[in-house]
Amino acid sequence: MSGNNTRRTVKTADTLFDIIEKVQKLDGCTVTELANNLDIAKSTAHTYLSTLEQKEYITKDGNTYNLSLKFLDHGMHTLTNHKVASASRPSLKQTAEETGELVWLIVEEHGRAVYLDRAKGDKAVQTNGRRGLRTYLHVLAAGKAILAHMDDKEMREVIDRHGLPAQTENTITNRETLFRELERARERGYAYNNAEEVNGVRAIGAPIIQNGTVYGGVSIAGPIARFQDDEYDRKMRKAVEEVTNTIELDLQY
């Protein structure tokens, strides 16, 4: 698990990032709305927002503050220079074209699943996933594949830190049930998400492993109705295994 959870923090930095995240979550807000949501003084909220605006990280339209496109610059820089994303992009596109489905590259960061990149086939479903979105590893097929290939101590630390919150009624929220699921995924080399993140959507995922290090995972997602067909499921299993094997080879160069 990348990163360490430390108790030593800088209070002003904590407040700054709380404000940035809250402005995003609220899709823009006024000083009063921000102060009320974070339970801070309006003068404090205004000072931070004004500073962020001066640094061009915030824009102001009337009384409403929004995150600026400067964050896009940072995000695109991170994506472009990410080793796994660069190595995966051609293979994701090819797999999406061949299967017609939605193909996602997922990586782990600070014990969370991050949607890093995607490719869409001609019959791909629309989901809530977007590049950069952070969610829980246990609700994703690729996330389970990543968890299954962590060492036991690291895997348990992730679950202790983030828990097993439900995203749908199908999400696995019991630790022992999840451990059994991860053991099966480890043995067969792939994992399933049975409408555990989005209702009606099933996915199959496999890990990207190079020299014993888990770099991420790839999932292929589609409507449950398509994936319930045994022959179709077999084709998707083969596709996800092939794409992860290709990415593993590409990571060597």
102 in a domain, yes or no? yes
Q: For 13-46, what is each residue's pLDDT tens digit?
A: 999 999 999 999 999 999 999 999 999 999 999 9
Whether residue 246 sits in one domain with residue 155: yes
Torsion of CA 51, 53, 56, 59, to 10 degrees: 160
Write down which residue in 33, 48, 68 finishes a domain.
68
Residue 22 is part of which domain span?
11-68
- Give the Cα separation of 119 and 95 in Å (integer): 8
**Are 172 and 205 members of one domain?**
yes
Report yes or no on 4 lying in a domain: no
Q: Would 2 be classed as within a structural domain?
A: no
Residues of the chain with pLDDT under 50: 3-6
Place of tokens 């319930």: 228
DSSP code at position 61: E
* SS3 assignment, position 39: coil
Q: Domain check: are 128 and 37 in the same one?
A: no
- Tell me whether residue 245 is in a domain: yes
Residue 1 lies in a domain: no
Strands (E) across the chain are located at: 58-61, 64-67, 102-109, 112-120, 134-135, 191-194, 201-210, 213-223
For the residues of 146-190, what is the DSSP string, one character each? HHHTS-HHHHHHHHHHH----SSTTS---HHHHHHHHHHHHHHS-
Find all residues with CB under 8 Å of 131, minimum gap 6, and list them.
75, 79, 115, 116, 117, 118
Q: Name the one residue in this structure whose structure tokens are 């451990």.
A: 179
For residues 151 and 203, state if they share a domain: yes
pLDDT for position 127:
87
Two structure tokens written together for 90: 């051609």
CATH number assigned to the domain comprising residue 49? 1.10.10.10
Whether residues 141 and 24 share a domain: the answer is no
- Domain identity same for 93 and 185: yes
Are 56 and 94 contained in the same domain? no
pTM: 0.88
What local confidence, expressed as pLDDT, does residue 252 receive? 86
Same domain as 149, residue 225: yes
Q: What CATH code is carried by the domain that includes residue 168? A: 3.30.450.40
Domain tally, the chain: 2
**Token pair listed for 192:** 């399933």
d(CA 237, CA 97): 16
Using DSSP, state whether 57 is helix, strand or coil: coil
Residues 39 and 80 occupy one common structural domain: no
Is 175 domain-assigned? Answer: yes
pLDDT on residue 13: 94
Tell me, yes or no, whether 119 and 218 share the same domain: yes
Structure tokens at 91: 């293979």
Same domain, 106 and 167: yes
The pLDDT assigned to 10 comes to: 85
